[in-house]
Every structure is written in C-alpha cells, then in structure tokens.
Amino acid sequence: MTNSTFPIAFLFPGQGSQSVGMGRELADKYPVARRTFEEADEALGYKLSELCFEGPEEKLKLTEITQPAILTASVAAWRVLQEKGVKADYVAGHSLGEYSAHVAAGTLTFADAVRTVRNRGKYMQEAVPVGVGAMAAILGMPFDKVAEIASEIVNDAAQGEVCQVANINSPEQIVISGHAGAVDRAIKLATERGAKKAVSLPVSAPFHCSLMQPAQDRLATDLSTLNFQNPSCPVICNVDAAVVASAEASRKALIRQVTGAVRWEPSMRLLIEKAASLFIEVGPGKVLWGLMRQIDRSKTCLTVGDEASLQKTLAQIAATAA
C-alpha cells in the first residue's frame, strides 16, 4: 500500500507516551499484536503484557518497565499495519522510539531490542542518584536563545554543573537537562528573557546530557554483543538528524544517543526535504503528532495506537492512494 507519490514515514514514540491499557485493543483483535506481547513476556521473563494492559500506573512509569512497554506496544501496532499492507519509506523514533524504528527496519530483532531497552532504562535510572538531576521544557523560545542560557549557566557554575539542550522537539519546545540546581537557574533565566513557559518535567533522571555517560558506557557493552543488520529502509537517527544506512552506523548512533540531544525537529525537516508527505505515529499516545503540528501543519500526520485510529489511518491512506 505504499505509493511513491506520497512517501510514508513511520514515527515511533518515546518515554512519556505510556498509559495503562496501551496495546490491549490491538492485542485482543489481532493475533500478530497479541504474539508481540507474548514475545516480550518471554524475552523479559515477566508479564510485561499485564503491566501494559492493567497497570498499575506507578509500575508502568518505572523507566526500566516504561521503555520495553512502549517499544512492545509500538512494534505490535507496526506489525498490524504491516499485515494491512502499509509499508514505510522512512522510519524515525523519538529517543527510545529509535529502537522501535530499527525493529521496523530489520536492523535489530524485537527480542534483542526489548531486552536492550529494559537495560537501557535501568542504566539511565542508575547513572544519577534521584534528585541530583532534572529536566525542564522551555516553550516559545528559539533554540539558539535556550542554548545560550544553558552555556551561561555552565560558565557561571563554579562546581562544574551540567546544563545542556536535551531535546530539540519543535520550534516551540526545547528541553534542557542537567544538575537540578543548574536547570532551576535556567528556568528562571528563560522566564526572565521571555519564554512563554519554562517548567520542570516529572522525570526520574536527567536524560540526554553528559551526566548519562555511565549509562552510555554500560549500554555500549551490551550493544557491541548484538547482531545488527543493515536497515532495510532509511532510518533517521536522533543524534545527527541524518540517515543511518549501515549496521555499524546504527549501533554507534544508538550508543551516542544516550548522552546526545534528541534532534527531533531537524529530523522531521530532513524527512520533509526527502518529500515524505504522510507521517504516521505508530504506538501509544499522540506526542509526535502534536510536535508535527508545531513543525509543519501542512503535512498529514496520523496515529495508530488502537482500533479506531488504525481504521481512520487505513481509510485516509486508501483515499490518498485513490
């Protein structure tokens, strides 16, 4: 069902898109989705499917559970789309979602990916003691102004505190990460300098900054043992906002991603440059759909996370192809 006249990009969500019940409807209706959850349960040695379908939410929010849970719900939705004949010309994923993208591109097996992201979540959680780090979203302030504030904070901090841009999500939304005190000072500065809003994020660790180096080192060891294939379709990697086309480049990009910034807006601009005109967020939530509306409202962005969104997306693709 792909059509060269409207190249399709699949976008896979990252942490924060989880919700109790995710994937359940598709697993109830489609054997391929149900088997995906069973495969995850087997690979992890516990009932991840139960936590996704029934919660409790507090447990689903734990990073080492959240990461494999979102990956599994996303891959289940992708496999249903595949069965319906919808293929991607490009794939990309937000942070953790890049693993889902690589499963879709055949770079990694699903079982390897689900075990790796469980460890990734654990390593990220253990890299920095709780309370030491923080993240904040700066809304309505251009990237260069936010980057300027972050470097000012670092230069002023006598103790060598970290404050870095962690996510370039859209023209409207930049996320910073680092030591809690430094991030607090950046929030104040951003507010004083005219940000629409600067708000601390409810996260358990300061992701995508140099404080994650211990997690990156541990993950690099894990990834070095896995069998990577060359992707079967172009994957846009977060850390460079560029296409990775080989097994080795894919592995290196996933390693560097732990401390590197998620360059989501530049990644979407690259896809637009490459003439992608239909974007489908595959997995739980609508976070990437919302960001695409801030990046380029002229592009069609659809979601597939449950039966209703699946049917709506299939209908829209059929109408576009007609």
Catalytic residue among 95, 100, 204, 309: 95
| Beta-ladder partners of 280 | 10, 302
208 has catalytic annotation: yes
Residues 6+ apart with CB under 8 A from 303: 280, 281, 282, 286, 289, 309, 313
Catalytic residue among 94, 208, 250, 309: 208
Nearest to 133 by CA among 167, 99, 164, 174: 164
Per-residue DSSP letters for 190-247? Answer: HHHTT-SEEEE---SS--SSGGGHHHHHHHHHHHHTS-----SS-EEETTTTEEE-SH
Residue type for position 61: K
In the numeric block, which tokens belong to residue 114? 């689900």
How many CB atoms lie under 10 A from the CB of residue 7? 16
In the numeric block, which tokens belong to residue 322? 């007609």
In the numeric block, which tokens belong to residue 110? 């699903």
Distance CA 313, CA 217 (A): 40
Contact at 8 Å (CB) between 102 and 112?
no
What sign does the CA torsion over 296, 89, 72, 119 have? negative
Nearest to 75 by CA among 22, 3, 19: 22
Distance CA 113, CA 107 (A): 10
In the numeric block, which tokens belong to residue 56? 């409790």
Dmax of the chain from CA atoms? 63
**What are the catalytic residues?**
95, 208
